[in-house]
Amino acid sequence: MIKSLNNNEVSFILVTLSYWFFMLTDGAIRMIVLLHFHTIGYTPLQLAYLFLLYEFFGMITNLTAGWIAKKIGLNITLFTGIILQIVSLLLLTQLDKSWNLTTSVIFVMATQGVSGVAKDLTKMSSKSSVKLLAPDKNNKLFQWVTIMTGSKNAVKGFGFLLGSLLLATLGFQISLILMAALLSIILLLLFIYLNNDFSYINKDTKFSDIFSKNKNINYLSLGRVFLFGARDTWLVVGLPVFLYSTLSNGTNDDNKQAFFIIGMFMALWTIFYGFIQSLTPKILSKNQSIGKQTKNWASLLIAIPILLLVLSSYFKDYSLYITISLLFVFGFAFAINSSLHSFLILRYTDKKRVTLDVGFYYMSNAFGRLIGTFLSGLSIQLGGFITCIFITALMLTLNRLSMEKLDLKNI
């Protein structure tokens, strides 16, 4: 079986596997850091601060990573991303309990900043490789995009659960060391087996080439800001803090139980979201254009947080159950919207600009997460989880307006 594969197909499999393992550790780190620091007394806004540099440096990385990859190659940006993630994990193990709050926050922000660079270097490299390495027989680009994106999110969901379980059983430092060891093995396999000649290198590429002149890519990127800002406004800090306040009274036994339930919910939601992403081509109607369905699904997504606001206000005693149920409905619709976005960016770009356009697009993604992360901590601290949902609805409306500007006639 392996012998029948060509170099590009072997490389595509390797890149996909490395991306999966990377996202497993990324999800685990998110839960370990969030739950560990919440239990030692950090406020929701302080928890949001921990991830701001992660998102900010992810945004800067995406803006420049496509230009860098164009000059030195996607293989180098992929290796660099994984190495930086290993470094960030090992740095985080050096956190000292004797440090004061300010020093601890700054140190964790800095290590998460390194992790943000790592994540988006790896993400840009992996997503761009789909255009360059994946078999495209019978025009299967949409299927490969949704499979890679969907499976990645399912793996990250397992990472949320893994992080919660590791924190509850092995503790903070040992958990981080184990994940660094796992990524080191993946890095070694890439060094040995990856085909180094799969990307287009042009050392004369100008920095100004980063910015797309294609209005479709620009409006799609703007929509991506609001789409992922909307999701992270309720997801990053708001939901875990809301669930923790409902499930735990602060005792050690209650904390372990709360960690498991929160990690399980985050894992199931993300796995479900990823599963739906991978099924998007089968879910979409064969009798309507993808362009038309893109607008329809963006409109449908707005209705879900509005429904959650209405039902939670009328049935306050059941708000936890209503929230959990409707967030899964949200996950279904969000997954389809996200898959459509991921397909459109590759449809609008070409092979010569793929690293530049994908990097710019995911810069917008990171900018949305940066806004969402800050608003998540601020909203739940000032107005509770219901405020997070209200802001989510507003941002989804802006995403829908951005979709109206796209040229979707022939898609």
What pLDDT, on a 0 to 100 scale, did the predictor assign at position 152? 72
Note whether 373 and 239 are within 8 A (CB). no
Closest CA to 68 of 112, 113, 121: 121
167 domain residue, yes or no: yes
Note whether 399 and 368 are within 8 A (CB). no
What pLDDT, on a 0 to 100 scale, did the predictor assign at position 76? 83
Query: Residue 410 carries which side chain, given as an amino acid letter?
Result: N
- Alpha helices (H) along 284-318: 290-314
> Which class for 203: exposed (0-12), middle (13-18), buried (19 or more C-beta within 10 A)?
exposed
Mean pLDDT of 244-254: 78
Domain membership of residue 321 as a residue range: 7-403
Mean pLDDT of 74-102: 87
Alpha carbons 194 and 321: distance in angstroms, whole number: 47
Query: Residue 132 carries which side chain, given as an amino acid letter?
Result: L
351 domain residue, yes or no: yes
128 domain residue, yes or no: yes
124 domain residue, yes or no: yes
Residue scoring higher pLDDT (1 or 225)? 225
Mean pLDDT of 325-329: 95
Number of domains in the chain: 1
Per-residue pLDDT tens digits for 62-74:
777 667 777 777 7
278 domain residue, yes or no: yes
- What dihedral do alpha carbons 227, 233, 154, 357 form, nearest 10°? 40
Q: What is the CATH number of the domain that holds 91?
A: 1.20.1250.20
Pick left, alpha or beta for residue 232 (phi over 0 → left; psi -120 to 50 → alpha; otherwise beta).
alpha
113 domain residue, yes or no: yes
Note whether 176 and 89 are within 8 A (CB). yes
Q: For residue 204, is pLDDT > 80?
A: no
Mean pLDDT of 83-89: 93
Q: How many CB atoms are located within 10 Å of the residue 82 CB?
A: 24
- What dihedral do alpha carbons 228, 224, 120, 172 form, nearest 10°? 0
User: What are the distances in angstroms from CA 318 to CA 274, 307, 323?
Assistant: 27, 14, 9
What is the band of 202 on the pLDDT scale with cuts at 50, 70, 90?
A: low
Per-residue pLDDT tens digits for 213-226:
788 999 999 999 99
Alpha carbons 121 and 99: distance in angstroms, whole number: 31
What is the band of 75 on the pLDDT scale with cuts at 50, 70, 90?
A: confident
What pLDDT, on a 0 to 100 scale, did the predictor assign at position 1? 42
Start-to-end CA distance of the chain, whole Å, equals: 36
Query: Residue 231 carries which side chain, given as an amino acid letter?
Result: R
- Non-local (6+) Cβ contacts of 192 within 8 A are none
What pLDDT, on a 0 to 100 scale, did the predictor assign at position 43? 83
What is the band of 264 on the pLDDT scale with cuts at 50, 70, 90?
A: confident
What is the band of 86 on the pLDDT scale with cuts at 50, 70, 90?
A: very high
410 domain residue, yes or no: no
What pLDDT, on a 0 to 100 scale, did the predictor assign at position 2? 45
Which of 2-6, 90-94, 145-149, 396-400 ranks highest by mean pLDDT?
396-400
What is the band of 340 on the pLDDT scale with cuts at 50, 70, 90?
A: very high
Q: For residue 201, is pLDDT > 80?
A: no
CA 37 to chain centroid, in Å, comes to 21
What pLDDT, on a 0 to 100 scale, did the predictor assign at position 160? 84
The DSSP symbol for 205 reads -
98 domain residue, yes or no: yes
Residue scoring higher pLDDT (410 or 51)? 51
